[in-house]
Amino acid sequence: MKISHKLTLIFLGLALGPLVLGSILTYIDARDAFIRQTRTRLDTVAALEEHGIEKLLQEYTEQAQQLANNPALLENLNWMLYLGDVEAAEKVAFMLEEVVAVSDELVALEIISPEGKVVASTRPERVGSMVEEKQKPLDEGMLHIDRLYRDQDRRLLIQFDEPLYYNLERPLGSLKLLMQADDLQALTDDYSGLGVTGEILLARRTPDHSSAELLAPTRFDPDATLNRTIHLTSSSPLMFAFDPDTIQNSDWTDYRGKRVLASTRLIRSAGWALVVKIDRDEALNEAKMLANGMMQIFILVSLCTLLVALAVSRSLTLPLIRLTQTAHRIASGETNLRVNIDSANEIGSLADSFNIMAQTLTEYGEELERRVQQRTEQLRKANTALRQEVRQRLRAARILSDERNRLRTLIENLPCGIVVKDRNSRYNLINRSQMHLLGLESTRQALGRTAMDLHPGEAAKVALEDDERVMSTGEPLINVERIQVNPGMHNHHTLITKAPLRNKDNEIVGLVGIIYDITERKQIEQRLIQTAEELQRSNAELEQFAYIASHDLQEPLRMMTSFIQLLQRRYHGKLDAEADEYITFAVDGAIRMQRLINDLLAYSRVGTRGGEFESVDCGQIVQAAMDNLHLAIEESQARIELDSLPTLLADPSQLTQLFQNLLANAIKFRGENTPEIRIEASESGGGWRFCVRDNGIGIALDARERIFQIFQRLHSREEYEGTGIGLALCQRIVLRHGGRIWVESEPGKGSAFFFTLPVNTV
């Protein structure tokens, strides 16, 4: 810097320094006041927006949970998924359509099975399709906001997934709700109190956490919803909005590259980020106006001071200017040029020394230039090779670090125990699941120690023997059940797989173990076995009681019936009319009682006196049943049509009884019409589904389950005779064959009795 300039600057500094300092402090105070005022306003708007969005999501959540906990829906869904009930499937579909019809926000409802299959939907084309892996049901037992997207009609939809459990235990899959998100957009469209550049951003994080996708339109981009993705950087307010533990207020740069003031919130129930912002320029507009006024005053004072400083410095620096100009010309290449100043003072001596230095520099300049060029070329080549090597090593180190982190995270979060042991069975690695199984609190308690060191006993001895066998033979130990004991002396049933660990020379240096805790499964299996044994014993006792009771009643009832009938034959007409009527009542009652006991005996013999299963032609079975009903068919003039019926494994006597009871009911409950009966069979789910369809009087909806209960009658004996055991007997026969039976009917429109025989009987 020139001496004249230095003198000028010193003079200006002394004159203008206090003025500049006062102006700066005044501007900073005004700017900070405007920033605090703007931040307070942004915090207020952000808090109101956060409350509104959380409240809206809570309303959506309560609606989803109310539908997912509907007892009728869960009951019918359980019947549909686990029993294949067609009527239950129709009820589930009707319930879903009814809910969508009465809701303004709901667009569609779907039920997804635990296997990821759409089993019910208000969109029929979706039924039977498989959903993507990320859309499968959740196991956490909580509501999950899965997606926010636009449909083909450009409507903004929000998707909820709610797990479904039957009796809080049996998983039924998940309920997917598609709801319009217009109310969500309305909350972010209100820019009251945000000036002309203020915006409200609502975003969700992308799966790789490097970017955020906007979920609502912005003031400067109305089509931003699900169309704009913002890269998350340290200067982006969205980066800090996703941190649930802090609420940051600072200066940021938004997606337009503008510096902004912002207030951030995390919508915790959905994991969304909320940012309320305003351009920093607009917020500090008044402060800038104040700064402009102060700047004008400062410029005017500076000009006056500068003129005075230039006049003083010029008189002192004119000789030095000539010396400086000569030096610049020599530097530009005029190496033979010399300075000529006639002065006996220090400046003249400086000129002479300068001329000598210029001559010396000229001689050495050429040599130095040559050496610099050589050395520069050598350094350039070495630097290029070094940069390539550094890049390769950094890339390899980064890849290795990423792989190690992924492997460590995978091992730590597996639901099964993972261990790595050295050649002496000492733990080198143990994950969180195995520490919990052994009752340990940290890995330090296990590393470098053996199972015997941790929990001495028989279980540890067996574990060491297994380790030695695997490492000595080189053969893996696969799915072997073992007992493990924790410090509380609790036994855990485990399923263990161990495999040898080899180095690059194929030498065994240890082993890798995988341990599954199957204690709960073992307990459930034991309870199931006990329950099955108790149920089998109870059923056997009940069947034996029914058989003995009905069998022992046969003889006294037969004797009573015989003597009453003898009394009727001998004394009919010899007593008065009232006595004849009483005797007739007694005979009828005895006959009904005998018929009832015979039916009860037949009912009890289904499980205890059933025959062996053998290959039977169902067509011949139906013909035998029709032969048994020959008189009833002729009297009613019934018309019976048969489809092609299969050959399968069954008890021929009981199968004949089944068809005979169903045909007899179709003839008996014919009403005033001539009976028309059709028997069909079709393959269904790996088995056979039979249907006996008639045109009789039909059955009311509320009686469809009751008719299969023993002694249940829908009509009086004066209307239709019978004991009320026929359909109960049919159900018991079908259950013995491993199937189920049900009826579909409407009063006055006939009935269709369906029953199935699963594939294990075919």
| The two structure tokens encoding residue 657 | 């009884």
* Domain residue limits, the chain: 69-184, 414-517, 518-609, 612-758
- Output the CA torsion 396→399→405→407 (10° steps): -110
- Return the pLDDT at 548: 63
- pLDDT value at residue 4: 64
What per-residue confidence (pLDDT) applies to 712?
Answer: 63
Assign residue 338 a region: left if phi > 0, alpha if psi is -120 to 50, beta otherwise? beta
The helix (H) or strand (E) run that includes residue 267 is: strand 259-267
Domain 612-758 has CATH 3.40.190.10: no
Instruction: Burial-class residue 445 by CB neighbours within 10 Å (0-12, 13-18, 19+).
Output: middle
Interhelix angle 726-736/577-608, rounded to 10 degrees, is 10
Q: Which two tokens stand for residue 702?
A: 């509320």
> What pLDDT is stored for residue 66 in this prediction?
82
Say what the pLDDT of residue 512 is.
92
- In this prediction, residue 140 carries a pLDDT of 43
Listing from the earlier edge strand, what are the strands of the sheet with 211-214?
Answer: 229-231, 211-214, 199-205, 272-279, 259-267, 249-253
- The architecture (CATH level 2) of 414-517 comes to 2-Layer Sandwich (3.30)
Q: 69-184 with 414-517: one CATH topology?
A: yes
Amino acid found at 277: K
Return the number of other C-beta atoms located less than 10 Å from residue 105's C-beta: 18
CA distance 181 to 329: 75
Superfamily in which the 69-184 domain is placed by CATH: PAS domain (3.30.450.20)
In angstroms, the Cα distances linking 663 to 97, 524, 590 are 38, 44, 27
Instruction: Please give the pLDDT value at position 15.
Output: 66
**Residue 59 in contact with residue 270, Cβ under 8 Å?**
no
In CATH, what number does 518-609 get?
1.10.287
| pLDDT reported for residue 599 | 60
Q: How many whole angstroms separate alpha carbon 80 and alpha carbon 88?
A: 5
Give 167-226 pLDDT, tens digit per residue.
777 788 888 888 887 777 777 777 777 888 888 888 888 888 888 888 888 888 877 777
pLDDT for the residue 454: 79
Type of residue at 712:
Q
**Can you give the pLDDT at residue 692?**
93
Residues of the chain where predicted confidence (pLDDT) is lower than 70: 1-4, 6-7, 11, 15-16, 19, 132-147, 151, 244-251, 309, 312-320, 322-323, 333, 335, 337-348, 486-490, 538-558, 587-611, 710-724, 759-762
- Note the pTM of the prediction, 2 decimals: 0.38
